[in-house]
Structure formats: C-alpha cells, structure tokens
Amino acid sequence: MSTDRVAVLDHGYLQLVESWGSDERIIEAARMSTDGAFRGWGDPRWTCQCGYILSAALFMATSAVDRPSCPKDPAHVMSYEERPGDEKLLAYLYNHRHMSPFEMAGMIIEVQAPIFVVREWQRHRTQSYNELSARYAPLPDVNYVPSVERIMQSGGANKQASGTKPCSMSEAAAFRVALDHLYRRANNDYTTALESGIPKELARLVLPVGRYSRMRASANLRNWLQFLTLRTDPAAQWEIRQYALGVSNLIRQLFPRTHDLFLAERRA
C-alpha cells in the first residue's frame, strides 16, 4: 500500500498513516460467534471432463477471449465453475447490516484541508481527531482559491451551492482576485501581530476559513463507510467531496471487497 500523499484541491492532500485489519479479518471477527475462522475467498475455475482444472486467474492471464480448450485434449471445451467462498458471507454481513465485524478494521489518515472543510469533516463524531493548533504554532501561509470553473458551478439539488443569480466568468475571476487580496492582507496582519507579541491564540483571529489546516483522523471501517455515504453524496459541498473521493480510493486499496460492496449499494 502506497503511503504517498494524494493531492486534493490546490494545496491540500490526504496521506495514509496506518491501517489495521482487512477483509479477511472482518470474516474472522464475524465467525467468532461460531468459533470459526476465515476459510478463503472463492476460487472460480475452468474444468474439463478429463479432470483438468484451470484457475480463473490463470485463464485471465492468458488474455483469451473465448472459453479455453483443454491443454490435454484441444477437442474438449472447458466449463466455467463458480466456487463461492467467504465473499458470500462478507456480502451477507454488509447487505443485512451486521456491521460490528467491520469495526475490526480501520485506518488513520493525515489531511491538509481548508479550515471550512475541516470543520465540516469534524461533524463526524464517530472519528477521532487531532488538529494543528494555531494556539501553539503559526499556521502556514497556504490558502484555498477555487478555480473559475468551481465558482461558476451550478448548485443543482444543493441550494447552498447556488448564488442569487448566475455568475459570469468575469465575476468569478474578479472574486478570485479579491480573495487573493484578502488572504494577503490577512496574512500580513497575522504575521505583524505575531511579531508584535500578540499571543498566537489571539493573532489567529484574523485568519479566514479558507486558510489550510492539518489534522489526523482515525476511525474504524464501519464509520469511514458512513463518512463516504454522506460526503460523496451530490448534496455535500464540492470541496469535501473531493476529499471523500480520496478516502474512498484508500479504502478501495486496503479493503477492496468491502469497498466493492459499498459501491454496489450506491449504484443500486
């Protein structure tokens, strides 16, 4: 699993710190009630009447487009055979909302995001957070400036994303310029206050919510999936949706079978 930072917005990022558990550990947790264990994932395969077996993975590696012929006897056409395994139990747990086994896995990530995104994120009280504090350290001079395209986006079903009237390209560009001037002025006032001996916890009062902050967020897999349900929804603000998509990609890499179940539910 790569721990490289994934860029989000203009100066933000997501980075995996650590993870625990796996799709297999979820199955093991579920089987504790019957003193069972993980039995293995399904093994779909191609079989021949002569007894020859070709695994589905090996068949896919051959790049064949039709059903393969038997290597022992090319006159024989092999048959596909489903051999379901513990993916069936995983799907049952997820689809019937037996969610406690999904609490046996999870991850910690580091996030750099605008303060307004961080505040939205921290409404998810099932996660644990530790954020960079401007009481103890000056915040870096990094601010979010949305693109012209983002400013001109129609709100659609999200009323909060709509202005009082359509925004023109020139008006969007002017807003970006004004925002940049505001950030420069705020940072000048901030650094001047710090240099003047104003306490850091008060000097930060001049900083806008577009300033970037950093935090670490920790949750079990069940609650990360709930975060995705809410924050990948079209009604969620566009900026936090970009972070949620990054979180989704991390979950896909760490817990691919559970992530597939989540996507299937979303498409249904």
- pLDDT of 246 reads 97
Which tops the pLDDT comparison, 11 or 157?
Answer: 11
For residues 64-85, average pLDDT: 68
Is 163 a member of any domain?
A: no
Which tops the pLDDT comparison, 66 or 173?
Answer: 173
In the structure, what pLDDT confidence band is assigned to residue 267 with cuts at 50, 70 and 90?
Answer: confident
- pLDDT of 198 reads 95
- This prediction has a pTM of 0.82
Domain count of the fold of the chain: 1
Q: In the numeric block, which tokens belong to residue 221?
A: 């897999």
Is 191 a member of any domain?
A: no
Residues 109, 113, 215, 142: is their CA dihedral positive or negative?
positive
| Chain mean pLDDT for the chain | 87
pLDDT digits (tens, 9 = 90+) for 14-33: 999 999 999 999 999 999 88
Q: Which of 85-89, 212-216, 232-236 has the lowest mean pLDDT?
A: 85-89
Report percent pLDDT > 70 for the chain. 85
Collapsing DSSP states into helix, strand and coil, what is residue 99?
coil
Q: Which of 41-55, 156-170, 172-186 has the lowest mean pLDDT?
A: 156-170
Is 179 a member of any domain?
A: no
User: CA-to-CA distance for 38 and 86, rounded, in angstroms?
Assistant: 7
Is 52 a member of any domain?
A: no
In the structure, what pLDDT confidence band is assigned to residue 65 with cuts at 50, 70 and 90?
Answer: very low
Is 232 a member of any domain?
A: yes
- pLDDT of 234 reads 93
User: CA-to-CA distance for 247 and 253, rounded, in angstroms?
Assistant: 10
Domain of residue 240: give its range.
6-38+86-145+211-267
pLDDT digits (tens, 9 = 90+) for 106-142: 999 999 999 999 999 999 999 999 999 999 988 889 9
For residue 223, the domain's CATH number is 3.30.1360.170
User: CA-to-CA distance for 66 and 79, rounded, in angstroms?
Assistant: 11
Collapsing DSSP states into helix, strand and coil, what is residue 245?
helix
Helices 256-267 and 221-231 cross at an angle (nearest 10°) of: 30
Give the helix ranges, DSSP H, for the chain.
23-30, 56-61, 87-95, 115-121, 148-151, 169-195, 200-203, 221-231, 238-254, 256-267
* Residue 40 CB partners (closer than 8 Å, separation 6+): 85, 86
Q: In the annotation, is 231 catalytic? A: yes
For residues 173-177, average pLDDT: 95
Is 189 a member of any domain?
A: no
In the structure, what pLDDT confidence band is assigned to residue 60 with cuts at 50, 70 and 90?
Answer: very low
Is 102 a member of any domain?
A: yes
- Give φ, ψ of 104 to 5 degrees: -90, 10
Q: In the numeric block, which tokens belong to residue 169?
A: 């390209």
Among the options 185, 222, 231, 241, which is catalytic?
231
Which tops the pLDDT comparison, 214 or 82?
Answer: 214
User: CA-to-CA distance for 187 and 66, rounded, in angstroms?
Assistant: 64
Is 13 a member of any domain?
A: yes
User: CA-to-CA distance for 118 and 134, rounded, in angstroms?
Assistant: 14
- pLDDT of 104 reads 96
User: CA-to-CA distance for 119 and 48, rounded, in angstroms?
Assistant: 60
Q: Is the pLDDT of residue 72 over 50?
A: yes
